[in-house]
Structure 1
């Protein structure tokens, strides 16, 4: 049933026109047809990412010292999961550390596998995927040990254990980085690195093993200059460059086109787009237990509600004077809400609890 949902979703999304990478990325993505969506686009990006990975790194310090430098201070590396400027006595919270303080002692930094090695199928060692520079990050030794191999789960604020210490929240400022790493590992190593093995969430609304947790984090936490710098390093002539990029850093919206979910930032222009404003419309509350669903919009929209089999249930027009629909006739479950504005449309998922 979920495959029917995504077929319908991606037919709607393609109305926005084909994505066009910026000039500096067009050569790298020259073989990709960005009119594709869903698992077809995923396969194309997977093949590209695998084929471009021409330099298989060893598990050493040199690569991480080159890629994890603070863009504002090359003498330091940024520490994933960190947030504090070093002014308090707890070094485990530090956001950055001197690039030469690497090792295994307290207040050193070491190498964190974002996709925990033991959660892969089969498990990774420190070669191949276990040495992939896109998912190994500098991390405080003790904070890395505290995370251990805990699966990621949602939370708020700074990094730490959640759900009675059974899961790990990477922190508000790092959750997008983590999501995009997991997406990369999935398309690069496929079934060995399933998102369902490393995160707590549901794959019910995606066409494969992606989970809603990482789609939400990808949309909520935009790409940073640190991520861009790491990505650019790996396609340069540098000694420790792998040759491939993380496409979800280049454009988080690619995840939306493949798996749906919340609309992530689109960093590229689109060809043939007639109206982009509809993509930013918010439908709330969602999930809902109420009889009314509201839409934040300044334009006139046709709202059509379908069940997961594609059967039309209701249709309404909303505008500034009436920005809601009455869903009291609907039973609990998942529905598809298609928003039409002139010749442009997008489909959102509505959950009634």
Structure 2
């Protein structure tokens, strides 16, 4: 047992060290990133709400903001259009141009002939209450430049699975391979910023994660599969600066680091831009334990490889629980009825082991 105890102490040190990754931006100075699960969700929600000091008007404020924030990094003077994919140039007077990827920034309005307008990524009518044209309805982190026709085609259809370019998918709407990560990070931001008004399940089809019935699992998948682009970074940086003409003062933390979503909700391991999950083990990199601290004395383990054994070890080195050949549902294992305390959760697969410190309270 002493050997296990020594191992446990070493594992605690390594897990704590792995949480030492930190963002470069001073926006997060003093923020406690030694949190996960709902504690981290609530702390980030408070952060992005209290720093949102400039409320934009829907018109002209959002129009002017999008002309700056949505500029194509490779084509100054043009805005990128959400859901768009064609690289051809919009012909003057053409009405058959709804698949285009960019527009002249000054061609904004409601005309389907080569103009763009404001897409509510979270549909305006699906908010509880309706988002309107102020507050959530005028939050520039949420609104994106979009072709007029394509915006109308999407309407208020719920997002759903698909592949390739954007378009209808069954009765829902697939945002496209290029844009699905953007959409996921925007909807997660809106959930934290307006937690009662912008519940993700009201805008997205599909199963939800075990730890949060409001979070569709597909958003975590999209967040992991589509990494952050320079375009998203540029938007985030501009809107964060409250001294900019159309800056709000707050940021979308899931653009800063998509892995924050993994820490909160679990699911596929997303891009970790701060090295929070620094590890040399491929097996460990594909593991997520959530929520942590545990909720309702339950812990979930998401693993992209089949686990052969799970051990729960207390800080005295005692083996509290051991499960061999555990069964998973959608790559997720669940431990229930855990006693309160601090533990090391040791998982084994294919001759490799990984450990996570967990708290049950």
TM-score normalised according to structure 2 size: 0.76
Matches of 1:333 and 1:22, distance apart in 2: 32
Partner of 2:236: 231
2:214 aligns to what SS in structure 1? Answer: coil
Equivalent position to 2:148, from 141, 150, 158: 141
1:334: how far off? 7.3
Verify: 1:18 aligned to 2:19, yes or no. Answer: yes
1:274: how far off? 5.7
Equivalent position to 1:193, from 198, 205, 208: 198
2:215 aligns to what SS in structure 1? Answer: coil
Matches of 1:331 and 1:20, distance apart in 2: 30
1:192: how far off? 0.8
Partner of 2:183: 178
Partner of 1:126: 133
Partner of 2:355: 345
C-alpha contact 2:167 2:174 (8 A) present in aligned 1: yes
Partner of 1:103: 109
1:270 aligns to what SS in structure 2? Answer: coil
C-alpha contact 2:121 2:186 (8 A) present in aligned 1: yes
1:13-162 matched pairs, under 5 angstroms: 17-23=18-24, 25=25, 27-60=26-59, 61-86=63-88, 90-106=96-112, 107-162=114-169
Partner of 1:320: none
C-alpha contact 1:59 1:126 (8 A) present in aligned 2: yes
Matches of 1:176 and 1:168, distance apart in 2: 14
Partner of 2:340: none
Question: Which runs of 5 or more residues in structure 1 are unaligned?
Answer: 1-10, 283-292, 297-301, 316-326, 348-353
Deviates more, 1:227-236 or 1:174-183: 227-236
Partner of 1:7: none
Matches of 1:331 and 1:243, distance apart in 2: 43
Question: Residue by residue, what CA displacement relative to the aligned partner does 1:267-292 show, whole Å, maximum 9, x if unpaired?
Answer: 00238x5645333449xxxxxxxxxx
1:35: how far off? 1.0
Matches of 1:243 and 1:196, distance apart in 2: 27
Partner of 1:323: none
1:101 aligns to what SS in structure 2? Answer: coil
Matches of 1:255 and 1:174, distance apart in 2: 17
Change (3 A) 1:344 1:312: closer
Over the aligned positions, Cα root-mean-square deviation in angstroms equals 3.1
Equivalent position to 1:241, from 220, 238, 247: 247
Question: Residue by residue, what CA displacement relative to the aligned partner does 1:197-222 show, whole Å, maximum 9, x if unpaired?
Answer: 01012224233411101000000000
Partner of 2:9: none
Following TM superposition, the consecutive aligned residue runs of length 4 or more in structure 1 with deviations greater than 6 angstroms are: 331-334
Equivalent position to 1:314, from 315, 321, 324: 324
Deviates more, 1:83-92 or 1:192-201: 83-92
Change (3 A) 1:188 1:332: closer
C-alpha contact 2:239 2:249 (8 A) present in aligned 1: yes
